[in-house]
Amino acid sequence: MHTTHPDGEAEFLTGLLGAGLLIPCDVPGVYGRSATFEAVVAGIDGLAFAEARRDDAEEVRFPPVMSRHDFERSGYLGSFPHLAGSVFGFTGDERSAFELSGRAAAHEDWSEFQGMTDVVLIPASCYPVYPWVASRGPLPDGGRLVDVGGYCFRREPSSDPARMQAFRMHENVRIGDPDVVAAWHAEWQERGARILGGLGLAVDVVPANDPFFGRAGRILASGQHEQQLKMEIVCPISSARPGAVLSVNAHLDHFGTDFGIATKSGGPAHTACIGFGLERVALALFHRHGIDSDNWPERVREQLWPMLEEAP
């Protein structure tokens, strides 16, 4: 499914590629990044870190792959089978290896020599957090707050640079009693809008829904939307049409139940997460302030790069 898009996005992408900020990699939604683009991402990442440190979050990082077994427990494959990426590897002898190699060199199908492994690509940075927190036993008083981030993968090839297959999130995950988690979820809607609005982005806070698969998914999406479980800070990213740059999600007891995370009183914990889409915020800044980050407003540059030597 290769989506087409209005001209605004195509023109913006052409500008990014022309300036060398993004580098085409032969596959829609997979790009290389220039040093300047990476400095912008690092600046946004730093702002997210500053918030997490203010809240005394535990920082942890996971690689872009995770346990398939843990992933199967998360329910992701029930909701978003179309977006998941699973990792396959070689299963065979020398004869198969020889055949595989020959077919690959001719760009022919070598999939029959691949078998499913015990790892999958991470679709959002918080997924490995839940089994880790569960493994540490009942929650302490006040629950837990975890800062996490890194490369994620979603199988949605698109020519819109705002919809990459490989992209980074910077997430905070709150795990605890229902009232604590609900208050945190509510607070971050305002807080997220303030942080991103402070970068000069024309943000709005709107109820949203995940792209659940199929007809049954439309019912899930509608319920999520009505209950305002998924709120998004949106702004123009790659065209005038607003898209999510920060997602503020309440999961109720979904992950607490699936992974067996217990509160001190023994009930399933509630969880919520906020996730900055780092490439999306970077793109929104280029879209808003222009392709040359040297000419961005001083107050934006100072926030992204408080230490001069970090500026691109």
Considering only residues 145 to 184 of the shown chain, the ones binding its own copies according to CB under 8 A are 150-151, 153, 155, 157, 164-167
Q: Which of 10, 19, 132, 159 binds its own copies (CB under 8 A)?
A: 132
Beta carbons within 8 Å of 236's beta carbon, 6+ residues apart = 202, 242, 243, 284, 287, 288
Q: Is 196 exposed, middle or buried (0-12, 13-18, 19+ CB in 10 A)?
A: buried
Q: Which of 4, 54, 56, 215 binds its own copies (CB under 8 A)?
A: 215
Q: Which 278-307 positions form the footprint of its own copies (CB under 8 A)?
A: 307
Q: Interface with its own copies includes 247 (CB under 8 A)?
A: no
Q: Which 86-105 positions form the footprint of its own copies (CB under 8 A)?
A: 86-90, 92, 94, 97, 100-101, 104-105
CB of 105 to its own copies, least distance (A): 6
For its own copies, the closer CB: 113 or 276:
113
For its own copies, the closer CB: 105 or 141:
105
For its own copies, the closer CB: 54 or 107:
107
Beta carbons within 8 Å of 253's beta carbon, 6+ residues apart = 178, 267, 268, 269, 270
Q: Which of 119, 237, 246, 285 binds its own copies (CB under 8 A)?
A: 119
For residue 277, report the phi and psi dihedrals to the nearest 5 degrees: -85, 100
For its own copies, the closer CB: 50 or 202:
50
Q: Interface with its own copies includes 65 (CB under 8 A)?
A: yes
Q: Which of 8, 46, 117, 252 binds its own copies (CB under 8 A)?
A: 117
CB of 203 to its own copies, least distance (A): 26
For its own copies, the closer CB: 114 or 228:
114
Segment 239-245 long-range contacts (CB within 8 Å, at least 24 positions apart): 239/5, 239/6, 239/8, 239/9, 239/12, 239/160, 239/287, 240/8, 241/6, 241/8, 242/204, 243/162, 243/280, 244/208, 244/277, 244/280, 245/196, 245/201, 245/203, 245/276, 245/277, 245/280, 245/281, 245/284
CA dihedral 298→304→309→312, nearest 10 degrees, is -80
Q: Interface with its own copies includes 267 (CB under 8 A)?
A: no
Q: Which of 3, 14, 55, 115 binds its own copies (CB under 8 A)?
A: 115
For its own copies, the closer CB: 242 or 275:
275
- Quick one: DSSP state of residue 1? -
Q: Which 1-40 positions form the footprint of its own copies (CB under 8 A)?
A: 23, 25-27, 30-35, 38
Mapped onto helix, strand or coil, the DSSP state of residue 46 is helix
Q: Which of 123, 131, 143, 275 binds its own copies (CB under 8 A)?
A: 131
CA distance 53 to 49: 6
